[in-house]
Amino acid sequence: MNDVLRIAVQKSGRLSEDSLNLFKECGIKFDNGAGKLKATSSNFPAEFLFLRDDDIPGYVEDGVADMGIVGQNVHVETNKNVSETKLLGFSKCRLSIAIPRGEVYNGVTDLEGKSIATSYPIILGNFLKEHGVTAHIHEISGSVEIAPSIGLADAVCDIVSSGGTLLSNGLKEVEVIFRSEAIMISYPKLSPEKQDILNQILFRIDAVQRAKNSKYVVLNTRNENIAAIRALLPGMKAPSILPLADEGWSSMHSVITEQDFWQNIEKLREAGAEGILVMPIEKIIY
Protein backbone atom coordinates (compact mmCIF):
# COMPACT_ATOMS: atom_id res chain seq x y z
CA MET A 1 0.00 0.00 0.00
CA ASN A 2 1.29 3.46 -0.81
CA ASP A 3 1.71 5.68 2.23
CA VAL A 4 -0.40 8.79 2.58
CA LEU A 5 0.25 11.53 5.16
CA ARG A 6 -2.87 12.39 7.17
CA ILE A 7 -3.02 16.10 7.89
CA ALA A 8 -5.42 17.60 10.46
CA VAL A 9 -6.53 21.19 9.87
CA GLN A 10 -9.18 23.34 11.53
CA LYS A 11 -12.56 22.87 9.88
CA SER A 12 -13.71 26.43 10.16
CA GLY A 13 -12.20 29.24 12.17
CA ARG A 14 -9.29 31.62 12.35
CA LEU A 15 -6.69 29.04 11.33
CA SER A 16 -8.56 27.44 8.44
CA GLU A 17 -7.90 29.77 5.55
CA ASP A 18 -4.18 30.25 6.16
CA SER A 19 -3.69 26.52 6.82
CA LEU A 20 -5.38 25.54 3.55
CA ASN A 21 -3.55 28.27 1.61
CA LEU A 22 -0.24 26.97 2.90
CA PHE A 23 -0.83 23.59 1.23
CA LYS A 24 -2.27 25.15 -1.90
CA GLU A 25 0.80 27.40 -2.29
CA CYS A 26 2.88 24.23 -1.99
CA GLY A 27 1.08 22.88 -5.06
CA ILE A 28 -0.90 20.29 -3.10
CA LYS A 29 -4.38 20.11 -4.60
CA PHE A 30 -7.50 18.94 -2.77
CA ASP A 31 -11.18 19.68 -2.62
CA ASN A 32 -12.35 21.16 0.68
CA GLY A 33 -15.98 21.68 -0.25
CA ALA A 34 -18.36 22.92 2.45
CA GLY A 35 -19.21 20.40 5.14
CA LYS A 36 -16.48 17.95 4.12
CA LEU A 37 -14.75 16.09 6.93
CA LYS A 38 -12.08 14.49 4.79
CA ALA A 39 -10.38 15.14 1.45
CA THR A 40 -7.69 13.32 -0.50
CA SER A 41 -5.15 15.22 -2.56
CA SER A 42 -5.29 14.51 -6.26
CA ASN A 43 -1.57 15.17 -6.84
CA PHE A 44 0.27 14.49 -3.56
CA PRO A 45 0.25 11.58 -1.07
CA ALA A 46 -1.78 13.46 1.54
CA GLU A 47 -5.22 13.22 3.07
CA PHE A 48 -6.85 16.07 4.99
CA LEU A 49 -9.05 15.77 8.08
CA PHE A 50 -11.14 18.84 8.93
CA LEU A 51 -11.55 19.05 12.72
CA ARG A 52 -12.12 21.40 15.65
CA ASP A 53 -8.76 22.88 16.60
CA ASP A 54 -8.96 21.66 20.22
CA ASP A 55 -9.19 18.04 19.03
CA ILE A 56 -6.18 18.20 16.70
CA PRO A 57 -3.34 17.65 19.25
CA GLY A 58 -5.07 14.51 20.59
CA TYR A 59 -5.49 13.07 17.11
CA VAL A 60 -1.82 13.73 16.39
CA GLU A 61 -0.68 12.22 19.71
CA ASP A 62 -2.65 9.05 18.94
CA GLY A 63 -1.31 8.88 15.38
CA VAL A 64 -4.82 9.10 13.90
CA ALA A 65 -3.44 12.18 12.14
CA ASP A 66 0.26 12.28 11.23
CA MET A 67 0.49 16.03 11.30
CA GLY A 68 -1.71 18.97 12.27
CA ILE A 69 -1.84 22.75 12.47
CA VAL A 70 -3.01 24.52 15.64
CA GLY A 71 -2.28 27.70 17.59
CA GLN A 72 0.60 27.37 20.07
CA ASN A 73 -1.95 28.34 22.73
CA VAL A 74 -3.97 25.18 22.00
CA HIS A 75 -0.82 23.05 21.65
CA VAL A 76 0.55 24.13 25.04
CA GLU A 77 -2.83 24.07 26.78
CA THR A 78 -3.71 20.54 25.58
CA ASN A 79 -0.20 19.37 26.58
CA LYS A 80 -0.14 16.31 24.30
CA ASN A 81 2.91 14.29 23.41
CA VAL A 82 3.54 15.54 19.87
CA SER A 83 6.59 16.82 17.99
CA GLU A 84 6.85 20.57 17.37
CA THR A 85 7.73 20.54 13.68
CA LYS A 86 7.53 24.11 12.41
CA LEU A 87 6.29 27.55 13.38
CA LEU A 88 4.15 28.95 10.57
CA GLY A 89 3.97 32.67 11.28
CA PHE A 90 0.21 33.19 10.94
CA SER A 91 -2.70 33.50 13.42
CA LYS A 92 -0.53 35.54 15.75
CA CYS A 93 -2.16 36.53 19.02
CA ARG A 94 -1.42 36.77 22.72
CA LEU A 95 -2.97 35.35 25.87
CA SER A 96 -3.45 38.15 28.37
CA ILE A 97 -4.90 38.89 31.76
CA ALA A 98 -7.37 41.78 31.78
CA ILE A 99 -9.24 43.54 34.56
CA PRO A 100 -12.09 46.10 34.66
CA ARG A 101 -10.84 49.36 33.17
CA GLY A 102 -11.45 51.48 36.29
CA GLU A 103 -9.33 49.33 38.57
CA VAL A 104 -5.78 50.06 39.60
CA TYR A 105 -3.08 47.52 38.74
CA ASN A 106 0.43 47.60 40.15
CA GLY A 107 1.68 44.14 39.23
CA VAL A 108 0.99 40.39 39.39
CA THR A 109 0.76 40.36 43.17
CA ASP A 110 -2.49 42.35 42.80
CA LEU A 111 -4.00 39.09 41.46
CA GLU A 112 -3.46 37.29 44.79
CA GLY A 113 -6.74 35.82 46.03
CA LYS A 114 -8.65 37.02 42.96
CA SER A 115 -10.75 34.84 40.69
CA ILE A 116 -9.79 34.73 37.02
CA ALA A 117 -12.05 33.33 34.28
CA THR A 118 -10.31 31.59 31.40
CA SER A 119 -10.40 28.79 28.83
CA TYR A 120 -6.65 28.32 29.40
CA PRO A 121 -6.32 26.96 32.97
CA ILE A 122 -3.00 25.19 32.28
CA ILE A 123 -1.14 28.17 30.79
CA LEU A 124 -2.63 30.55 33.37
CA GLY A 125 -1.85 28.11 36.20
CA ASN A 126 1.79 27.90 35.07
CA PHE A 127 2.06 31.68 34.91
CA LEU A 128 0.62 32.19 38.40
CA LYS A 129 2.82 29.46 39.85
CA GLU A 130 5.94 31.00 38.27
CA HIS A 131 5.08 34.28 39.95
CA GLY A 132 4.15 32.74 43.28
CA VAL A 133 0.60 34.06 43.10
CA THR A 134 -2.39 32.09 44.36
CA ALA A 135 -5.63 32.91 42.55
CA HIS A 136 -8.80 31.01 41.81
CA ILE A 137 -8.94 29.84 38.19
CA HIS A 138 -12.51 29.73 36.96
CA GLU A 139 -12.52 27.60 33.81
CA ILE A 140 -15.16 28.51 31.24
CA SER A 141 -15.28 27.51 27.59
CA GLY A 142 -16.45 30.70 25.89
CA SER A 143 -17.49 34.36 26.26
CA VAL A 144 -14.79 34.79 28.86
CA GLU A 145 -14.74 38.56 28.47
CA ILE A 146 -18.17 39.07 30.04
CA ALA A 147 -17.21 37.25 33.27
CA PRO A 148 -16.34 40.38 35.33
CA SER A 149 -19.45 42.33 34.29
CA ILE A 150 -21.77 39.50 35.37
CA GLY A 151 -19.91 39.00 38.65
CA LEU A 152 -18.42 35.62 37.73
CA ALA A 153 -14.78 36.64 38.18
CA ASP A 154 -12.54 39.60 39.06
CA ALA A 155 -10.37 39.24 35.98
CA VAL A 156 -10.13 37.31 32.73
CA CYS A 157 -7.34 35.56 30.88
CA ASP A 158 -8.16 35.34 27.19
CA ILE A 159 -6.79 35.53 23.65
CA VAL A 160 -6.23 39.09 22.43
CA SER A 161 -5.52 40.19 18.91
CA SER A 162 -6.52 43.81 18.21
CA GLY A 163 -7.71 44.41 21.78
CA GLY A 164 -11.14 45.51 20.52
CA THR A 165 -13.04 42.80 22.39
CA LEU A 166 -11.49 43.76 25.74
CA LEU A 167 -12.18 47.42 25.08
CA SER A 168 -15.82 46.89 24.20
CA ASN A 169 -16.29 44.87 27.39
CA GLY A 170 -14.82 47.56 29.63
CA LEU A 171 -11.61 45.66 30.31
CA LYS A 172 -7.91 46.61 30.16
CA GLU A 173 -5.01 44.31 29.38
CA VAL A 174 -2.57 44.18 32.28
CA GLU A 175 -0.32 41.14 31.65
CA VAL A 176 0.65 39.33 28.46
CA ILE A 177 1.32 35.80 29.65
CA PHE A 178 1.86 33.93 26.37
CA ARG A 179 2.48 34.77 22.69
CA SER A 180 1.15 32.45 20.04
CA GLU A 181 1.24 31.72 16.33
CA ALA A 182 0.24 28.73 14.24
CA ILE A 183 2.46 25.67 14.68
CA MET A 184 2.76 22.44 12.75
CA ILE A 185 2.79 19.49 15.13
CA SER A 186 3.43 15.88 14.15
CA TYR A 187 3.21 12.33 15.43
CA PRO A 188 6.54 11.58 17.14
CA LYS A 189 6.85 8.05 15.73
CA LEU A 190 6.21 8.54 12.01
CA SER A 191 7.30 5.69 9.72
CA PRO A 192 10.29 6.54 7.48
CA GLU A 193 7.91 6.65 4.50
CA LYS A 194 5.61 9.18 6.17
CA GLN A 195 8.55 11.18 7.49
CA ASP A 196 9.75 11.40 3.90
CA ILE A 197 6.39 12.83 2.77
CA LEU A 198 6.45 15.31 5.67
CA ASN A 199 9.98 16.37 4.67
CA GLN A 200 8.75 17.04 1.13
CA ILE A 201 6.05 19.32 2.52
CA LEU A 202 8.56 21.14 4.76
CA PHE A 203 10.87 21.63 1.77
CA ARG A 204 8.02 23.19 -0.22
CA ILE A 205 6.93 25.40 2.68
CA ASP A 206 10.48 26.75 3.03
CA ALA A 207 10.57 27.58 -0.69
CA VAL A 208 7.25 29.42 -0.48
CA GLN A 209 8.12 31.29 2.74
CA ARG A 210 11.49 32.40 1.42
CA ALA A 211 9.82 33.68 -1.75
CA LYS A 212 7.20 35.61 0.23
CA ASN A 213 9.93 37.59 1.99
CA SER A 214 11.86 38.34 -1.19
CA LYS A 215 11.48 40.47 -4.29
CA TYR A 216 13.05 40.24 -7.71
CA VAL A 217 14.57 43.64 -8.47
CA VAL A 218 15.60 44.86 -11.94
CA LEU A 219 17.15 48.29 -12.47
CA ASN A 220 19.08 50.20 -15.08
CA THR A 221 22.20 52.24 -14.49
CA ARG A 222 25.30 53.72 -16.09
CA ASN A 223 28.19 51.26 -16.00
CA GLU A 224 30.26 53.47 -13.69
CA ASN A 225 27.60 53.09 -10.95
CA ILE A 226 27.57 49.27 -10.99
CA ALA A 227 30.02 48.75 -8.10
CA ALA A 228 28.20 51.16 -5.77
CA ILE A 229 24.80 49.64 -6.58
CA ARG A 230 26.12 46.12 -6.22
CA ALA A 231 27.12 46.92 -2.63
CA LEU A 232 23.46 47.80 -1.93
CA LEU A 233 22.07 44.59 -3.49
CA PRO A 234 23.10 41.59 -1.41
CA GLY A 235 21.35 39.14 -3.79
CA MET A 236 21.28 35.36 -3.51
CA LYS A 237 24.84 35.07 -4.84
CA ALA A 238 25.69 38.12 -6.92
CA PRO A 239 23.49 40.27 -9.16
CA SER A 240 23.23 39.43 -12.85
CA ILE A 241 24.47 42.33 -14.99
CA LEU A 242 23.36 42.59 -18.62
CA PRO A 243 24.39 45.27 -21.10
CA LEU A 244 21.58 47.46 -22.44
CA ALA A 245 21.28 48.39 -26.12
CA ASP A 246 22.38 51.92 -25.14
CA GLU A 247 26.18 52.13 -24.96
CA GLY A 248 27.52 52.57 -21.39
CA TRP A 249 24.34 51.33 -19.66
CA SER A 250 23.53 48.01 -17.95
CA SER A 251 20.58 46.38 -16.27
CA MET A 252 21.16 44.71 -12.89
CA HIS A 253 18.96 41.86 -11.62
CA SER A 254 18.91 40.63 -8.04
CA VAL A 255 16.79 39.06 -5.31
CA ILE A 256 16.57 40.94 -2.05
CA THR A 257 14.32 40.81 0.97
CA GLU A 258 11.45 43.24 0.96
CA GLN A 259 12.82 44.84 4.12
CA ASP A 260 16.28 45.38 2.58
CA PHE A 261 14.61 46.83 -0.50
CA TRP A 262 12.71 49.51 1.44
CA GLN A 263 15.75 50.25 3.55
CA ASN A 264 17.96 50.74 0.49
CA ILE A 265 15.62 52.29 -2.05
CA GLU A 266 16.78 55.89 -1.48
CA LYS A 267 20.44 54.86 -1.52
CA LEU A 268 19.88 52.91 -4.76
CA ARG A 269 18.48 55.99 -6.44
CA GLU A 270 21.27 58.19 -5.11
CA ALA A 271 23.79 55.66 -6.43
CA GLY A 272 22.31 56.06 -9.92
CA ALA A 273 19.67 53.34 -10.22
CA GLU A 274 16.84 54.16 -12.67
CA GLY A 275 13.72 52.40 -13.92
CA ILE A 276 13.58 50.17 -10.85
CA LEU A 277 11.18 47.22 -11.19
CA VAL A 278 10.21 45.16 -8.15
CA MET A 279 8.47 41.85 -8.78
CA PRO A 280 7.00 39.14 -6.56
CA ILE A 281 8.62 35.70 -6.53
CA GLU A 282 6.59 32.52 -6.28
CA LYS A 283 9.19 29.97 -5.08
CA ILE A 284 12.89 30.02 -4.16
CA ILE A 285 14.85 26.76 -4.14
CA TYR A 286 18.47 26.82 -2.97
Q: Is 73 in the site for ligand PRT (CB under 6 A)?
A: yes
In the bound state with ligand PRT, the residue whose beta carbon lies nearer, of 13 and 243, is: 13
**Minimum CB–partner distance for residue 97 and ligand PRT (Å):** 14
Query: Measuring CA to CA, which residue among 69, 42, 62 is closest to residue 198?
Result: 69
Amino acid identity at 69: I
In the bound state with Zn ion, the residue whose beta carbon lies nearer, of 12 and 257, is: 12
Query: Measuring CA to CA, which residue among 8, 13, 2, 121 is closest to residue 69?
Result: 8
Query: Measuring CA to CA, which residue among 25, 165, 45 is closest to residue 88?
Result: 25
Q: Is 77 in the site for ligand PRT (CB under 6 A)?
A: no
Q: Where on the phi/psi map is residue 170: left (φ > 0), alpha (ψ -120 to 50), or beta?
A: left
3-state helix, strand, coil in the chain (%, to 5): 35, 30, 35
Contact 89, 72 (CB under 8 A): no
Query: Measuring CA to CA, which residue among 155, 170, 150, 160 is closest to residue 111?
Result: 155
Q: Is 93 in the site for ligand PRT (CB under 6 A)?
A: yes
Residue range at the interface with ligand PRT (CB under 6 A); choices 11-19, 132-140, 245-253, 259-267: 11-19
Binders of ligand PRT among 33-72, rule CB under 6 A?
Answer: 52-54, 71
For ligand PRT, the binding residue among 126, 165, 209, 251 (CB under 6 A) is: 165
The kind and range of the H/E element at 204 are: helix 192-212
Residue range at the interface with Zn ion (CB under 5 A); choices 48-56, 100-108, 152-160, 203-211: 48-56
For Zn ion, the binding residue among 30, 44, 46, 53 (CB under 5 A) is: 53
Site string for ligand PRT, 180-219 (x = CB under 6 A): x---------------------------------------
Interface residues with Zn ion (CB under 5 A) are 53-54
By CB under 6 A, name the binding residues for ligand PRT: 10, 13-15, 52-54, 71, 73-74, 91, 93, 158-165, 180
